[in-house]
C-alpha cells in the first residue's frame, strides 16, 4: 500500500519546506502540497521534521580486532542504528595480510548476508598491497560495487601499509575510479610511545591518550594529502580529531588539493579529561583518542567552513569484560566505543538545537555527503522523487536521556550515560517500510540490503 507523509517540515541539505511525500513501493514518487491520499496510508507529520535517513559510513560490526570481536553483529548493530535514525551503514572488510581481498570479502559477506536489519555496504581495507592485490582492485569497483579502499598508516604488523604501498594503491584506485580512505596517524611514532610508556610502567588508559599525541595525526594527514595530490587519487581521511590534522588539510587546500574529511560525533562532544577517570577511561579508549576543547571548536568550525564533510561514529563496541582485557596494560584494551545508535540524535541535539549548525548542515554531514562521496547519491542521502524512501520523522523538541539500560546496541555500558538530548527520532522508514515506530523495530533480520555503489568523484 502506498504511504503518504502529510504536513511535515521536509529538510534536505538545501531545502526547508512544508509538503507531503508520496511513497510507492521502495521509492518516493511525489513531493508537493496537498497531495491526494487516494488509497495511501496516511502518516501525519504535523509538528515533526522530515529528514533523510542517516548514513554512517564508518562502523565496525562483528569485526575481529585485538584478539576479540566487536560486540554488535550486523543484526544488533543495524537495528540499533535504525532506532536512532540511521538507515544505512558502511562497514570495513579487513584483508588479512598475505591473503586476498576476495577471501576477506567472502568472510564478511558470510557474517552480513541475511543478518542485517538496515541497509549496508562495505569499504575494502587493503592491508597488504602487492602485485596480486593490485589485480583485484578493478574487480571490486566494476563487479562488486565496492568503490572505496581503506588504508591504515598505523597498527603495524596487522593492518598498516607503508608509503610505497600507499602510492601504488592510489595509482591503481585512481585508474579504476575509486577513492582511498585512510586512518591517518603515524604508526611508528605511536608504537615507539606505547613501548616507552610500558617500559616506564605507565599502564593506565591515560597513556593510551598520551601515546597518540596530536602531531602523530597531523603529520600522517599531511603525508596522506601529499600522496593524494601526487597521484591525483581522491582521498578521504576518516575520524579526523584535531586542529593540527585539519590544518594539514587546510594547507593542502591552499595548493588546490582536495581531500574529504570525516570526523566522528565523539570528537565533537567528548574530550580527553575522560581518561583521568582511572580504568573507567577504558570506555573511551579508541584510536585516535579523544582530544581537547580547542579541537572540538576547530571541528565545529570546520563543519561550517565546509572543510569537514561528514560526521560518522567509528562505532566499534566492546563489552566491559572485553575492555578488562587491558586492565593491567592500556595497550591491550580493545580500541573503540559504541555510538551507532546515538550519532543522529546527538548531532541534532548538540548541533542544531544548540545553534552550532543549521538543520540543512546537519542533513548534509549526516546523510547527503556520505551518499555523494561514496557513490550512492541521489538514491540515498536525500529526499527527492526517485530516491529510496529512507526517511526519519523527528520531534525537534522532545527531550530524552541516553542510558545503557534503554539502548539497543549489544554493549553493557553507554559512552553517553545520562546525556539529556532534545530532539527525538519518532518514526523511521527504510525503502518505504516503516522500520521503527513507537520505539519498536518493525522490520526483520535480513531486511537490510547490500547497496552497490558507483564510481566516485573527487568533488561533491
Ligand atoms: N579505531 C578504533 O578505535 N577502533 C577500531 C579501529 C580504529 O581505527
Ligand atoms: Zn584466504
Ligand atoms: Zn581508524
Ligand atoms: Zn574505524
> For residue 120, how many other CB atoms are within 10 A of its CB?
23
Residue 147 lies in a domain: yes
What confidence score (pLDDT) does residue 458 get? Answer: 84
Query: How far does residue 150's CA lie from ligand 2's centre (Å)?
Result: 19
Query: How far does residue 338's CA lie from ligand 4's centre (Å)?
Result: 12
Residue 82 lies in a domain: yes
DSSP string, 104-136: HHHHHHHHHTTT-SSEEEEEEE-SS-SHHHHHH
DSSP string, 389-422: --EEEEEEEEEEE--TTT--SS-SS-TTTT-EEE
The alpha carbon of 441 is separated from its chain's Cα centroid by a whole number of angstroms, namely 22
Residue 87 lies in a domain: yes
Among 358, 381, 404, residue at a domain's last position = 381
- Evaluate: CB of 181 within 6 angstroms of ligand 1: no
Residue 333 lies in a domain: yes
Contact by Cβ (8 Å): 401, 419: yes
**Residue 43: CA count within 13 A, CB half-sphere:** 26
Site to probe by mutation for ligand 1, drawn from 56, 58, 60, 339 as the one with most ligand atoms within 8 Å of Cβ, is 60
In this structure, the residue with its CA closest to atom 7 of ligand 1 is: 287
Please, what sign has the CA dihedral across residues 361, 364, 367, 369? negative
Kindly state whether residues 219 and 335 are assigned to the same domain.
Answer: yes
Instruction: Locate 201 and state its grid cell.
Output: 610502567
Containing 31, the helix (H) or strand (E) segment is strand 27-32
Torsion of CA 14, 16, 19, 25, to 10 degrees: 40
Residue 453 lies in a domain: no
Kindly state whether residues 296 and 235 are assigned to the same domain.
Answer: yes
Residue 451 lies in a domain: no
Among 334, 358, 381, residue at a domain's last position = 381
Distance in angstroms (rounded) separating the CA atoms of residues 14 and 16:
7
Ligand in nearest proximity to the CA of 101 = 2
Q: Is the peptide bond before 107 cis (omega within 30 degrees of 0)?
A: no
What confidence score (pLDDT) does residue 457 get? Answer: 85
Kindly state whether residues 106 and 195 are assigned to the same domain.
Answer: yes
What confidence score (pLDDT) does residue 251 get? Answer: 95
* CATH code, domain with 215: 3.20.20.140
* CATH code, domain with 9: 2.30.40.10
Global confidence as pTM: 0.98
Contact by Cβ (8 Å): 287, 154: yes
Kindly state whether residues 255 and 209 are assigned to the same domain.
Answer: yes
Kindly state whether residues 125 and 69 are assigned to the same domain.
Answer: yes
Q: How far is CA 379 from CA 1, 431, 434, in A?
A: 21, 10, 18
Kindly state whether residues 269 and 406 are assigned to the same domain.
Answer: no
Residue 458 lies in a domain: no
- Evaluate: CB of 316 within 6 angstroms of ligand 1: yes
Query: How far does residue 18's CA lie from ligand 4's centre (Å)?
Result: 37
Contact by Cβ (8 Å): 330, 204: yes
Going residue by residue through the chain (460 aa), what tens digit of pLDDT does each one get? 999 999 999 999 999 999 999 999 999 999 999 999 999 999 999 999 999 999 999 999 999 999 999 999 999 999 999 999 999 999 999 999 999 999 999 999 999 999 999 999 999 999 999 999 999 999 999 999 999 999 999 999 999 999 999 999 999 999 999 999 999 999 999 999 999 999 999 999 999 999 999 999 999 999 999 999 999 999 999 999 999 999 999 999 998 888 999 999 999 999 999 999 899 999 999 999 999 999 999 999 999 999 999 999 999 999 999 999 999 999 999 999 999 999 999 999 999 999 999 999 999 999 999 999 999 999 999 999 999 999 999 999 999 999 999 999 999 999 999 999 999 999 999 999 999 999 999 999 999 999 999 999 888 8
Kindly state whether residues 108 and 242 are assigned to the same domain.
Answer: yes
- Evaluate: CB of 335 within 6 angstroms of ligand 1: yes
Q: What is the ipTM of this complex?
A: 0.92
Residue 457 lies in a domain: no
Kindly state whether residues 327 and 253 are assigned to the same domain.
Answer: yes
Kindly state whether residues 366 and 392 are assigned to the same domain.
Answer: no
Q: Is the peptide bond before 288 cis (omega within 30 degrees of 0)?
A: yes
Distance in angstroms (rounded) separating the CA atoms of residues 365 and 428:
19
Among 339, 354, 381, residue at a domain's last position = 381
Considering its fold, how many domains does the chain have in total? Answer: 2
The domain in which residue 13 lies consists of 3-51+383-441
Kindly state whether residues 30 and 98 are assigned to the same domain.
Answer: no
Kindly state whether residues 219 and 341 are assigned to the same domain.
Answer: yes
- Evaluate: CB of 337 within 6 angstroms of ligand 1: no
In this structure, the residue with its CA closest to atom 1 of ligand 1 is: 287
Q: Tens digits of per-residue pLDDT, 430-442?
A: 999 999 999 999 9
Kindly state whether residues 138 and 30 are assigned to the same domain.
Answer: no
In this structure, the residue with its CA closest to atom 8 of ligand 1 is: 287
Amino acid at each position: 500500500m502506498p504511504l503518504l507523509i502529510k504536513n511535515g517540515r521536509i529538510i534536505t541539505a538545501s531545502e526547508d519546506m512544508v509538503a507531503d511525500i508520496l511513497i510507492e513501493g521502495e521509492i518516493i514518487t511525489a513531493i508537493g502540497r496537498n497531495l491526494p491520499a487516494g488509497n495511501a496510508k496516511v502518516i501525519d507529520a504535523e509538528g515533526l521534521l522530515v529528514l533523510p535517513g542517516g548514513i554512517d559510513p564508518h562502523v565496525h560490526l562483528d569485526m575481529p580486532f585485538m584478539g576479540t570481536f566487536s560486540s554488535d553483529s550486523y543484526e544488533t548493530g543495524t537495528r540499533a542504528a535504525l532506532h536512532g535514525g540511521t538507515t544505512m551503514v558502511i562497514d570495513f572488510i579487513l584483508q588479512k595480510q598475505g591473503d586476498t581481498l576476495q577471501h576477506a570479502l567472502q568472510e564478511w559477506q558470510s557474517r552480513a548476508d541475511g543478518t542485517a536489519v538496515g541497509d549496508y555496504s562495505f569499504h575494502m581495507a587493503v592491508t597488504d598491497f602487492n602485485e596480486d592485490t593490485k589485480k583485484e582492485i578493478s574487480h571490486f569497483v566494476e563487479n562488486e560495487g565496492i568503490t572505496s579502499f581503506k588504508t591504515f598508516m598505523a597498527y603495524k604488523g596487522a593492518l598498516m601499509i607503508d608509503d610505497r604501498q600507499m602510492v601504488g594503491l592510489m595509482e591503481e584506485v585512481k585508474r579504476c575510479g575509486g577513492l582511498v580512505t585512510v586512518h591517518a596517524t603515524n604508526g611508528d611514532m605511536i608504537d615507539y610511545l606505547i613501548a616507552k610508556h610500558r617500559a616506564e610502567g605507565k599502564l593506565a588508559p591515560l597513556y593510551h591518550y598520551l601515546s597518540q599525541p596530536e602531531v602523530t595525526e597531523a603529520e600522517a594527514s599531511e603525508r596522506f594529502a601529499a600522496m593524494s595530490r601526487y597521484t591525483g587519487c581522491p582521498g578521504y581521511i576518516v575520524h579526523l580529531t584535531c586542529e593540527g590534522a585539519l590544518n594539514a588539510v587546510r594547507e593542502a587546500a591552499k595548493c588546490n588539493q582536495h581531500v574529504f574529511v570525516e570526523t566522528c560525533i565523539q570528537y565533537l562532544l567528548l574530550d580527553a579529561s575522560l581518561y583521568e577517570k582511572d580504568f573507567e577511561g577504558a570506555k573511551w579508549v579508541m584510536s585516535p583518542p579523544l582530544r581537547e576543547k580547542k579541537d572540538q571548536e576547530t571541528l565545529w568550525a570546520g563543519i561550517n567552513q565546509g572543510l569537514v564533510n561528514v560526521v560518522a561514529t567509528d562505532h566499534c563496541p566492546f563489552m566491559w569484560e572485553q575492555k578488562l582485557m587491558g586492565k593491567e596494560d592500556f595497550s591491550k584494551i580493545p580500541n573503540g566505543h559504541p555510538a551507532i545508535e546515538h550519532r543522529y540524535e546527538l548531532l541534532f541535539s548538540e548541533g542544531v538545537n544548540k545553534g552550532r549548525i543549521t538543520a540543512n548542515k546537519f542533513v548534509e554531514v549526516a546523510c547527503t555527503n556520505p551518499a555523494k562521496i561514496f557513490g550512492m547519491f541521489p538514491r540515498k542521502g536525500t529526499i527527492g522523487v526517485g530516491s529510496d524512501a529512507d526517511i526519519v520523522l523527528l520531534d525537534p523538541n522532545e527531550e530524552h536521556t541516553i542510558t545503557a539500560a534503554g539502548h539497543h546496541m549489544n554493549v553493557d555500558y553507554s559512552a553517553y550515560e545520562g546525556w539529556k538530548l532534545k530532539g527525538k527520532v519518532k518514526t523511521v522508514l527504510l525503502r518505504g517500510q516503516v522500520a521503527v515506530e513507537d520505539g519498536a523495530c518493525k522490520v526483520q533480520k535480513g531486511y537490510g540490503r547490500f547497496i552497490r555503489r558507483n564510481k566516485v568523484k573527487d568533488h561533491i
